[in-house]
Amino acid sequence: MVVPTGSLVNAAAIIAGSLAGMALHGRFPERFRTIVFQGLGLCVLLIGLQMALTVKNPLLLIFSILLGGLLGELLRLDAAFERLGECAKATLRSANPDFTEGLITASLIFCIGAMAIVGSFDEGIRGDATVLYTKSILDGFAAVALASTFGSGVLFSFVPVLLYQGGLTIFAGLFQQHFTPLVISQLTATGGLLILGIGLTLLDIKRVNLSNLLPSLVLAVVLALIFG
């Protein structure tokens, strides 16, 4: 079985960046936080757009997003994530009022994206973790900015990142024959649209309910396998 080395390094980078950000909390000028988030928002929009434009079948993408969003609303994933965050906050006895928002925001930013998906697949299928190592550097710097604002919740986002990316790596290694170029393309494009939603949120343009859109990623794979 493939060892998810890239995900382990990514988790370590998030922990290091979060600790640095928490140390700067209160001493990181608001104008610096604002410009960092604006810069991150613009970069996220660019990455999301590049990912979304890799789509090979737009109709499958549309159905993945719409059906995935309806499924997420039906399951109330946003409420489930919030309860999970509050449970973690209570378990850790955190007094930070932004703990849950920081945990969810950071987890979505670090987990949804081309680098998380393609990087995990690349390590699982070819044993090359270069993409995840590069992502680790980016996530480490992003964690500094996020943790300086949201605090300790960002630190614990390494858990879903490790489980998600590590699981994808192991899964890809076991079932690599099913991941055709079409499946990877549709999955990446769907993730790209969700990344665009993150960018809009970071720039305070429009808050998108990304939690309830997460089933779109699963549907992107299923629809590509059925109609590909």
One DSSP character per residue, 156-211 reads TTHHHHHHHHHHHHHHHHHSGGG--HHHHHHHHHHHHHHHHHHHHHHTTS-----G
Q: How confident is the model at residue 92, as a pLDDT?
A: 61
Q: How confident is the model at residue 1, as a pLDDT?
A: 67
Q: How confident is the model at residue 95, as a pLDDT?
A: 61
Domain that holds residue 22: 5-227
Q: How confident is the model at residue 116, as a pLDDT?
A: 84
Q: How confident is the model at residue 17, as a pLDDT?
A: 92
Number of structural domains found in the chain: 1
Token pair listed for 139: 């996530």
State pTM to two decimals: 0.72
| CA distance between the termini of the chain | 28
**pLDDT, tens digit only, all 228 positions of the chain:** 678 899 999 999 999 999 998 888 767 677 777 787 788 788 878 878 888 898 889 999 999 999 999 998 998 887 887 777 677 667 666 666 677 778 877 887 788 666 787 788 888 877 888 889 888 988 898 898 888 878 888 898 999 899 999 998 998 888 777 778 888 888 888 888 887 887 888 788 888 887 788 888 889 989 998 887
Q: How confident is the model at residue 14, as a pLDDT?
A: 95
Q: How confident is the model at residue 94, as a pLDDT?
A: 60
Residue 95 · residue 88 · CB < 8 Å = no
* Angle formed at CA 94 by CA 90 and CA 97, multiple of 5 degrees: 100
* Dist CA 185 CA 191 (whole Å): 10
10 Å CB burial of residue 208 (0-12, 13-18, 19+) is middle
